[in-house]
Structure 1
Amino acid sequence: MDWDPATYGRFSDLRLRPALDLLAQVSALPDGPVCDLGCGAGAVGPVLRARFADRDLYGLDTSPAMLAKADATGAYDTLTEADIADWLPEHRFALLFSNAALHWLPNHDLLLPRLARLIAPGGALSVQVPHQNAALSHRTWVEQAETLFPDRINPTDGPGVLMPADYFDILSPLGQVSIWETEYLQVLTPVADGHPVRHFTESTFARPILNALAPAEQNALIAAYETEMTRAYPLRPDGSVLFPFRRLFFVLRT
């Protein structure tokens, strides 16, 4: 199933902040274009366009629906429907920028060196990925699905992230590496139906789990998940939730 830009965009301000924090760590670049890897609906496009006004800006994503939204921003010179895993551009880039996309791809030990080869000398690969899989907000989807519907889902089909030291070992032979993690204390605003954490996670992490189930099964899983979220992330008096969310960042300079 394709991504739903409206559902994903409910928390666009919270999803954009890590991209801004990552971009702040990108220093001077050599000549060449910039590519937004996994550009989605193009939320980062206007920011990249403002920062790199004199460069060609590319966007890459597998979702036609998301690319249509990205095109509507007017920020990109070129948008391409392709998988990052086997994308073979005709030239190298001054910056490959990826906000919350690479965790959907496997084999980072092979993927990252391949992406590094697409960077011009002195350029950068700048990446942010959620590092939340071990938190209750994420593992409860898997645990409840396995309890309610044994053998119906494959946990390895979902997003995966290595540990920071693993990324250092992969990237350090390729250039200068900076790696850090940040835990954001996100305030999720009240929603009309259900728990705010469910609304935040179902459009991303839970997509492959829910897509493997029939509608009635999805409803049963959502009900079980929301029961657990009410205990793990209590609603505040106004219906909002404080939701700690960890993200991992790295910048490779070649």
Structure 2
Amino acid sequence: MTPHSSGPVENLDIKIVRAHPGEVTRSQHTWDPDRYLAYADERGRPFVELLGRVGATAPRTVVDLGCGPGNLTALLRERWPDAHVHGLDSSPEMIAAARDRGDGVRYDVADLRDWRPGAPVDVLVSNATLQWVPDHLDLLPQLLGHVAPGGWLALQVPGNFGEPSHTIRRDLAAEEPYAAHTRHVAVPSSHDPGLYLDVLAGLGCSVDAWETTYLHVLTGPDPVFTWVSATGARPTLQALPPDLGTRFEEEFRARLRAAYPEGRHGVVLPFRRIFVVARKAEGEGE
């Protein structure tokens, strides 16, 4: 089974829900499952490659922290059909979309920082989620503590925050009159694979860490804006009142078009991703 097929996005209806002044804080932005799935195949490929390095054969419990709309969590159930698979996400919109799938997975709204399983789990997956958690390196011991002895912790985070798709948003948001509304919005961040390896190896795990830069070929009008408006740029876009939001979006689109010109085959978006698979030592409890 492959992730949800995105197909062409030429007809995607782009709608950003604007906030009134002062309405959105660091944790108050919302997510749009349909927009997120616009490039579901491209977003899903790292999950499949991460999962391919997890060596669990017959886990009893598998948890997906930051499951989003559930299209990838379903792959966990397909790989381990006898396991209890549980998807968690802090977004009620994403969980509602996941539950609508009817795929036999249990989905719940939860903040991964507060999540406590009733018993240690055999496989704990976090795909493209931890970048939204400030100081998430400090959270790794806690997450590993929820994994059973001999179990697996697998994570993937974007590593492209120095690319124009992010720096343009950051620089534009720092300009007036936008800065007054955007200075406290959530901004994703991550670390190099060696740092994750060092932390988890120091906790007694055997660790496989690597990075891959994908060259996504995108089509349709302003495809890089379509991509980032569903993820990294969404909190900024939602933080702006309607009048400023329209101005910001127009300038953001123009700068992205200049940074990512269309070629013969479409618009190429280089995207670096960081992967870590850690196996907990046998006999090591919580």
- 1:154 aligned residue: 183
- 2:193 aligned residue: 164
- 1:12 aligned residue: 40
Q: Does 1:242 align with 2:265?
A: no
Cα drift, residue 214 of structure 1: 0.7
Give the Cα separation in 2 of the matches to 1:234 and 1:120: 48
- 1:125 aligned residue: 153
Give the Cα separation in 2 of the matches to 1:220 and 1:167: 39
Q: What whole-Å deviation, never above 9, does each CA across 1:98-139 have from its counterpart, x for those lacking one?
A: 111111111223211100000011111101111111000111
Give 1:212's match in structure 2, choosing from 236, 239, 257. 239
Give the Cα separation in 2 of the matches to 1:214 and 1:156: 14
Determine which structure has greater relative contact order: mean sequence separation of CA pairs < 8 Å that are 6+ residues apart, divided by chain length.
2
Give the Cα separation in 2 of the matches to 1:69 and 1:150: 33
User: Which amino acid is the alignment partner of residue 73 of structure 1?
Assistant: R
Partner-residue secondary structure (3-state), 1:75: coil
CA contact (8 A) 2:185 2:239 kept: no
Q: Does 1:196 align with 2:226?
A: no
Cα drift, residue 77 of structure 1: 3.4
Q: Does 1:140 align with 2:185?
A: no
Give the Cα separation in 1 of the matches to 2:245 and 2:162: 22
User: Which amino acid is the alignment partner of residue 213 of structure 1?
Assistant: L
Give the Cα separation in 2 of the matches to 1:16 and 1:155: 30
CA contact (8 A) 1:29 1:94 kept: no
Cα drift, residue 76 of structure 1: 4.1
- 1:186 aligned residue: 216
Q: Which runs of 5+ in 2 are unaligned?
A: 1-28, 281-286
Give 1:43's match in structure 2, choosing from 61, 71, 85. 71
Structure 1: 4+ residue segments shifted above 3 A: none
CA contact (8 A) 1:32 1:92 kept: no
CA contact (8 A) 1:185 1:244 kept: yes
Partner-residue secondary structure (3-state), 2:175: helix
| Distance change (3 Å), C-alpha of 1:75 and 1:45 | farther
Give the Cα separation in 2 of the matches to 1:111 and 1:59: 19
Task: Looking at secondary structure, tell me which structure has more helix per residue.
Answer: 1
TM-score by length of 2: 0.83
Q: State, as a whole percentage, how many aligned pairs show the same letter.
A: 38
Cα drift, residue 157 of structure 1: 2.3
Q: What whole-Å deviation, never above 9, does each CA across 1:203-234 have from its counterpart, x for those lacking one?
A: 10011111221112111111111221122110
Q: Does 1:78 align with 2:110?
A: no
- 1:61 aligned residue: 89
TM-score by length of 1: 0.93
User: Which amino acid is the alignment partner of residue 68 of structure 1?
Assistant: A
Partner-residue secondary structure (3-state), 1:12: helix
- 1:88 aligned residue: 116
CA contact (8 A) 1:60 1:81 kept: yes
Q: Which runs of 5+ in 1 are unaligned?
A: none
CA contact (8 A) 1:146 1:152 kept: no
CA contact (8 A) 1:30 1:122 kept: no
User: Which amino acid is the alignment partner of residue 179 of structure 2?
Assistant: P
**1:226-237 map, 5 Å:** 226-237=253-264
Give the Cα separation in 2 of the matches to 1:58 and 1:215: 38
Cα drift, residue 29 of structure 1: 4.6
Q: What whole-Å deviation, never above 9, does each CA across 1:28-52 have from its counterpart, x for those lacking one?
A: 3564200111001001122111101
Partner-residue secondary structure (3-state), 1:152: helix
Partner-residue secondary structure (3-state), 1:84: coil
Give the Cα separation in 1 of the matches to 2:59 and 2:237: 44
Cα drift, residue 155 of structure 1: 6.5
CA contact (8 A) 1:41 1:69 kept: yes
Partner-residue secondary structure (3-state), 2:174: helix
